[in-house]
Amino acid sequence: MTAVNRHFYVAIMAGGIGSRFWPYSRTDHPKQFLDILNTGKTLLQWTFERFAQFIPHENIFIVTHHHYAAKVREQLPELLVENIVSEPSRKNTAPCIAYISHKINRQDPKANIICAPADHLIMDPIAFASTCLNALMFVQKHSALVTLGIKPTRPDTGYGYIQFETQQVADNVYPVKTFTEKPNLELAKTFLQSGDFLWNAGIFVWNVKTILAAFNKYLPEIDELFVQGTSKLNTPEEKKMIESIYPQCTNISIDYAIMEKADNVYVIPSNFGWSDLGTWASAYENLERDEDGNAVQGKNVMLVDATNCMVKAPQEKLLVIQGLDEFIVVDTSDVLLICKKENEQQIKEYVAEVKRNKGEKFL
């Protein structure tokens, strides 16, 4: 598939620390830079390749924390160095998207942009490209903020949900009614049965002018900071300007800041084999499993009467595991995690507890 339009861009957001994949994912080497599923490529590399099928290389930007800029260069040597956009601190997705939107607008006021995380799994890249191109062509002609919604396959409480109107406004494009953050199980079951709810994939598409107008309307305090510094974007003065702006930015997601407030939000129901690979259980679901339901990464893992477990160990290390059912076992050189699968959403809390009791050493 060749690039179809020089005004099509993608901003890949790659600045998170992936704490739910601890202890494999660490602050200095988080999950987007890891080969979580033993494919031979990292999640970031897969994401770049996926978009490079239909977006010109020079229009692909990676937005990351400044500590990870060198890792991005190392893993994506084909990416233009100037397209690695460094954030001085983590401020969630709204400041990140404001930054890259103003930067791209300075370069191309006709830009249509996909904003996507670096760490998602997409099993059908052809269907994904087709959906993205449909979205890009829609936002090129309409003042619309588009999100990609995934048809739910189970009542998952780990995802946000999007309710949509049943009357489409264009080919497979529907107005959004409501956003609901992670619901409880009963509500998730109701959503699944109703048929007009989708999982929120966190992949957004819009024309640069449309998103900048939304920032101006719904998050003017952040927008104003970038407007004042516009002349320094794409110049040697950009780094210093951004370092002065970021401490003043609110730490807020694009969902809360804009998508849940705006009246021009649309969704494209999508089916391209998506997983946000947010947790060890989601990795388990996407790995090959043995006859006892165990997904094992490690050459010297021995399981005795163990079932439905996710096990990751260093290749050279012998692990003998007996009697566990529905557990996550992750062994690294300095940390061993043994956790019930049903409690995996608490791994973030365990990481916070480790930080409080043991400092930064194991993070």
pLDDT average, residue stretch 6-12: 97
pTM of this structure: 0.93
> For residue range 314-340, what is the model confidence (pLDDT) as tens digits?
999 999 999 999 999 999 999 999 999
Alpha carbon distance 132, 128 (integer Å): 6
How much is the average pLDDT of 118-135? 96
Torsion angle of alpha carbons 294, 300, 303, 307, nearest 10°?
-10
- In the chain, CATH 3.90.550.10 sits at 8-275
What pLDDT is stored for residue 195 in this prediction?
A: 85
pLDDT of residue 268: 97
pLDDT for 319 equals: 97
Band of pLDDT at residue 279, cut at 50, 70 and 90: confident
More confident call, 77 vs 17: 77
CATH of domain 8-275: 3.90.550.10
Taking residues 116-126, what's their average pLDDT? 95
- Indicate the pLDDT class of residue 265, thresholds 50, 70 and 90: very high
CA end-to-end distance (rounded Å), the chain = 41
The stretch 102-129 carries a mean pLDDT of: 97
DSSP assignment string, 59-118: GEEEEEEGGGHHHHHHH-TTS-GGGEEEESS---HHHHHHHHHHHHHHH-TT-EEEEEES
CA distance 289 to 21: 19
* Cα(20)–Cα(350) distance, integer angstroms: 9
Residue 180 has a pLDDT of 87
With bands split at pLDDT 50, 70 and 90, how would you rate the model's confidence at 278?
A: confident
pLDDT attached to residue 340: 96
Question: Residue 247 has which token pair?
Answer: 């401490």
Name which of 102-111, 143-152, 184-193 the model is least confident about. 184-193
pLDDT at 156: 83
Percent of the chain at pLDDT exceeding 70: 99
* pLDDT confidence band for 36 (50 / 70 / 90): very high
Query: What are the backbone dihedrals phi and psi of residue 352, each rounded to the nearest 5 degrees, phi first?
Result: -65, -40
- Tokens at 48, concatenated: 């770049």
pLDDT band at residue 263 using 50, 70 and 90 as cut-offs: very high
Position 33 confidence tier, pLDDT thresholds 50, 70, 90 = very high
Q: Say if residue 2's pLDDT is above 70.
A: no
Q: Tell me, what's the pLDDT at 219?
A: 97
Q: Would you state the pLDDT for residue 197?
A: 93
Q: How confident is the model at residue 308 (pLDDT cuts 50, 70, 90)?
A: very high
Q: Given pLDDT bands bounded at 50, 70 and 90, which one contains residue 3?
A: very low
Mean pLDDT of 22-32: 94
Tell me the per-residue pLDDT of 53-63, one tens digit each, with 9 for 90 and over.
999 999 999 99
Q: How far is CA 163 from the centre of its chain?
A: 21
